[in-house]
Structure 1
Amino acid sequence: MGNLTNAVIAFLVPLPSIVFYLSFLRQFSAPGLVRGSTDSESVHPPPLWAWTWCAHHPFLLANLLFFLNVNVLFWLIGLMQSSNWMIDLYWTVIPVMQVHYYATHPLARYNQWRSAVITVLTWVWSIRLSHNYFRRERWQWGAREDWRFTDLRRQYGKHWWWVSFFAVYLSQQVFLIGVCLPMYAAHSIEKPCNVWDSIAAIVCTCGIVVAYFADTQLYEFVERNKALKVKEKENLDEGLWRYSRHPNYFGEQLWWWGLALFGWNVGHGWTFIGALINSLCLAYVTVLVERRMLKQPHRADAYRLYQKTTSVWIPWFKTSPERAPKDKDT
C-alpha cells in the first residue's frame, strides 16, 4: 500500500507547477505577441499578473516555481512521511522539466538543432538515471531515503524538521538550477551550430555511457554478493572500477561538463558554475562514501590498498602497491 501511495504522490506532486505554467503560456498566446521579439511596438503588453510572476525572465520564474513546488511542498510531504526520498527521484526528472520549460517559454530564442540535441540527451540521461534508481530500490517508490539524509537526521535529532528544509531542499535548488544553467543559455540565443556543439554532445554521451556501465557493474557486484550470502569479495575492482574508485561519479561529471560546453559555445561561459558546484559536491560525497567504506571492518584493509592503487575519479592505470604513497587516503 505504501508503494502505491508513494507512486501516486510522485505523479501528483509536480502538478502545481505544470498547471501554473500551462496557464502562463495561454496568457501569452494572444494575437500580437511575437515569440522572442525585442521590438516593443510589435508586442502586446502581457497582463499585470504575468509581470508579478517574473514572466519576462525565464530564470527567475524557474527559481520561483522550484522554491514553491519543490522546496516547500516536497519538504512538507517529507515531514509528514518522515522521509526525504522524493528529492532523489526528482533529481532525474527536474532537468527534463527545465529543458522543456526553457524551450517553450514565450521569450525563448534558440537554434532548433542545438535545442533538439540537448533535449534528447537530457531525456536519455534521465531515463538512464531513473532506471538505475528504481533498479537499486528494487522498483519500489520511496522505500528509503538517501543514507546521507538518514545520517543527518540522527545528527540533528529534534532540529531536523527545520534543518532539512535547508540541507535537503534549498541546497538542491542551488544544485539543480545551477547544473541546468546551460539549458537556459542555449535557449536564449540563436547562434548557429558549430563543431563545439558536436564536441559537447560527444562529451555528454560519453558521460551517460560511462555512468551506465559503472552503475550496472556496481549493481551486478552487489547482487552477486547477496546471492552468495557471503562476503566473497570485499571491494569491486573489476571493469571500470579497476581503473577508477568512482567511475559513476566521473561519468556524471562528464555529462554536466559536456552540458556546460553548450552554454560556453553560445557565449555564456559563466554557466559552468553549475558543473563546478556539482563537482565540488561530488568531491565531498566521495569523502563521505570512502569514510563509510573504511568503517566496515571486513573491508577496511582491502579498501585502503584500493585507495592507494586506484585513481579516485578519472579512469587510469593502477599504481603498484610498492610505488603507492604511504599515507592513507580518506
Structure 2
Amino acid sequence: MALPTLHALEECSDFAKTVQPFIPQLYALPQKVLDVVMSRDGFSDLYVETNPLISGFAISTVLGAVFLVVSEINKNYSQVDRCWSLLPTLYIAHFDAWARLAGVPSARLDAALFFSTIWSMRLTFNYWRKGGYEVGSEDYRWEIIRKQVPAVVFHVFNWTFISFIQSILLFLLAAPAYILLLASKFEPNLTSADFAYVSIELGLVVIEWFADQQQWDFQNAKSEYKKSGKVSQGYSQADLDRGFITSGLWGYSRHPNFAAEQSIWFFLYQWSCFASKNLYSWSGVGPSFLIMLFQGSTWLTELITAGKYKEYSEYQGLVGMFVPSRFSSYKTPPIKPPRVIRTSELAKNLSKKQK
C-alpha cells in the first residue's frame, strides 16, 4: 500500500495517518532498490508501490551524500547551492509523475509544477548570470565561516548542515505537494482557490525577478563607474558612491528578493492547508526552517555589508529587512553642515569657565 486510506479531506494533513505508517518503507527501501538493480527489472513497480513522500525523502538523503563527497573532494562547499533552484521543482515533478502512474488526479500537482517550473527557470538564470555555475565558484559566506572556525568544526558543519540538512530542506519545501496529492482524491478538479494560489505564487516570482534585475542593473552600473567613471543612465553619482542599491523595491525592503523567496514556499504550504481544510500541518516544517535559515544568512550578509559601506547602518534603521516598515521609499539622509561657532560665543563660553 503506497497511500493511506482516508475517509475525510481533513485527514490529508494528519501525520499519524499519512506519514507515520509508511516510515518502515524507508528502512526497507535500500534492499528493495538493490534487488531491482540486481534483477534489472521492476523499477516502475517499486516506484509506484512506494509512498511518494518516503521515496522523495530517500532521494534527498542520497543526494546529501553525493553533495558531501563532491564538496570534500573539491573543497568547494556550494554543491547544494548549484542545485537549489532545481530540486524543489524536481520533487514536485516527482509527486506529479507518481500521481499519474498511480492513477490519482493530478490537476493540482500540474498547477503547482507549473509555477515551480517558472520559479526554477528564473532563479537558475539569475544564478547562472552571476557566475554560479562557473568552475570553482563558491558562495563567499562559506569562505568567511571557514576562516572563523576550526577546520574540524567546519567539516562537521558540512557533514550535517551544508550537505545533508540543506538537501533534505529542499525536499521539505516541496512536501506540501504530497498533501495536495492526497486532497486530490477527494476534490480532483481545480477550484477558484487553486487558481488564486497559483496567481499569488506567480506574482511572487515576478517580484523576485524585478528585485534581482534591479540589483543586477545597479551592480553593473557600479562596476562600469569604477572602471571608467561613467555614471549610467538612471543613477546618480551619489547612488554609485554609496555602494549599495536603495532604489526600486530596495527602497522599501532591504531584501525584497529574499522576502519573496520565503513567501513562495510559505504560500505553497498554505495552499496545502487550504486544500485539506486545516489551519496548519506537519508540512510547515520546511517553510519554517527556510525562514529561520534566511534570518541567519541575512544577518551574516548584512554584517559583511555594514562593514563595507558607511551609510548601510542608516539604511538598516529606516528600511525593514524583509517587510516594509513605512510607505515612503528610502532617501539618503542629508549631510548636516558643520556648525559655525562665532567668536562672541567662544568669548562667552570662556568667561563662563573663568567664573
Residue from 265, 278, 285 that aligns with 1:256 = 265
Is the deviation greater in 277-286 or in 266-275?
Answer: 266-275
The equivalent residue for 1:246 is: 255
Structure 1 residue matching 2:323: 3-state secondary structure: coil
The equivalent residue for 1:87 is: 80
C-alpha displacement of 1:215 = 0.7
1:284 equivalent to 2:296? Answer: yes
Q: Distance in 2 between matches of 1:54 and 1:93?
A: 23
Size of the aligned set, in residue pairs, is: 278
C-alpha displacement of 1:110 = 4.7
Change (3 A) 1:219 1:104: same
Residue from 101, 118, 127 that aligns with 1:124 = 118
The equivalent residue for 2:158 is: 164
1:210 equivalent to 2:225? Answer: no
Specify every segment of 5 or more residues in structure 2 that has no aligned partner in the other structure, as ranges: 1-32, 228-239, 332-355
Partner AA of 2:190 in structure 1: C
1:213-248 CA-partner distances (Å, limit 9, x unpaired): 101111111111111117523221111101111100
Within a 5 Å distance, the mapping from 1:261-272 to structure 2 comes to 261-267=270-276, 269-270=280-281, 271-272=283-284
Change (3 A) 1:215 1:319: closer
Q: Does the 8 A contact of 1:309 with 1:319 survive in 2?
A: no
Q: Does the 8 A contact of 2:205 with 2:260 survive in 1?
A: yes
Within a 5 Å distance, the mapping from 1:1-330 to structure 2 comes to 27=42, 50=46, 55-68=49-62, 70-105=63-98, 110-137=104-131, 140-159=133-152, 160-190=154-184, 191=187, 192-229=189-226, 232-267=241-276, 269-270=280-281, 271-296=283-308, 299-300=309-310, 302-315=311-324, 316-318=326-328
C-alpha displacement of 1:304 = 1.2
Larger RCO, structures 1/2 (Cα 8 Å, 6+ apart): 2
Structure 1 residue matching 2:242: 3-state secondary structure: coil
Q: Distance in 1 between matches of 2:293 and 2:59?
A: 24
1:61-98 CA-partner distances (Å, limit 9, x unpaired): 21222112x21111111111110222111011111211
Structure 1 residue matching 2:289: 3-state secondary structure: helix
1:9-58 CA-partner distances (Å, limit 9, x unpaired): xxxxxxxxxxx79x79972757xxxxxxxxxxxxxxxxxxx4xx995322
Is the deviation greater in 79-88 or in 149-158?
Answer: 149-158
The equivalent residue for 2:16 is: none
> Could you say what the CA RMSD is over the residues aligned between the two structures, in angstroms?
3.0
The equivalent residue for 1:12 is: none
Normalized against structure 1, the TM-score is what? 0.75
Partner AA of 1:197 in structure 2: D
Q: Distance in 2 between matches of 1:202 and 1:282?
A: 24
C-alpha displacement of 1:153 = 2.1
Q: Does the 8 A contact of 1:206 with 1:255 survive in 2?
A: no
Partner AA of 2:42 in structure 1: Q
